[in-house]
Structure 1
Amino acid sequence: MDMFIKRVKLILQSEDSECGQACLAMIFNYYGYGISLPELRKNHSAQTGGTKVSYLMETCNDHGFRAIAYSLTIEELRKLTLPCI
C-alpha cells in the first residue's frame, strides 16, 4: 500500500465533514481528472455526520467515473492495486 502514498497527491480536508470529498478529489486526480477540493465542494456539499456510500457513488457518476461498492476484510483490502476509499 505504500506505493499509493507516493503516487496519490495528498489533499487535506478543510472541515471535519469533508473527508469523503477529499478522498474523491485524490482519486479523481490520480486518474488525471484535475479537480480541487474547493471545486468539488462547490457542486457537492459535504454531509454532516459522515459521508454515505451513496453520496460517494453519485458524485463519482456525476464526474464520469463508475463507482462500485464492496465489503472487504483488511486482508482483502491490502491486496488491491488501485486507490480506493
Structure 2
Amino acid sequence: MFIKRVKLILQSEDSECGQACLAMIFNYYGYGISLPELRKNHSAQTGGTKVSYLMETCNDHGFRAIAYSLTIEELRKLTLPCILHWNF
C-alpha cells in the first residue's frame, strides 16, 4: 500500500505553529499555499493558535474543517493527515 507523506514545513516563529500545520495540510492535498502566503493573508496569533482560527482559515481556502473533542482511542479512527490541537 502506498502512503503519501506530508511535506514538513517548519515554523520560524513560536506563534505560527497553526499556520505551518495548515500549510502542510494544504500542500498534502495539492493546494500550493505556502507558509509565507498564510503569514501575509492570515496573521499569526500570540499565545498559541485558536481552533476557530484554524477552522476559519481552512474555510477561506475551500476546506471543510470540523473540530472534535476525542479520547486517545478515538484518535486512531481519524482520517490522516489531520491537525491535533492540544490544550496543556
* TM-score, length-scaled by structure 2: 0.85
Q: 1:21 to 1:84 in 2, by over 3 A?
A: same
Matched, 1:22 2:9: no
- Residue 4 of structure 2 is aligned with which of 3, 6, 9? 6
Identity within the alignment, %: 100
Tell me the secondary structure at the aligned position of residue 75 of structure 1. Answer: helix
Distance 2:26 2:10 in 1: 14
- Unpaired segments ≥5 residues, structure 2: 84-88
Distance 1:61 1:18 in 2: 18
Greater fraction of residues in helix: 1
Q: Say if 1:10 and 1:26, in contact at 8 Å, map to a contact too.
A: yes
* Larger relative contact order (Cα-Cα within 8 Å, sequence gap ≥ 6): 1
Q: How many matched pairs?
A: 83
Distance 1:61 1:23 in 2: 15
Q: 1:4 to 1:26 in 2, by over 3 A?
A: farther
Q: 1:33 to 1:21 in 2, by over 3 A?
A: same
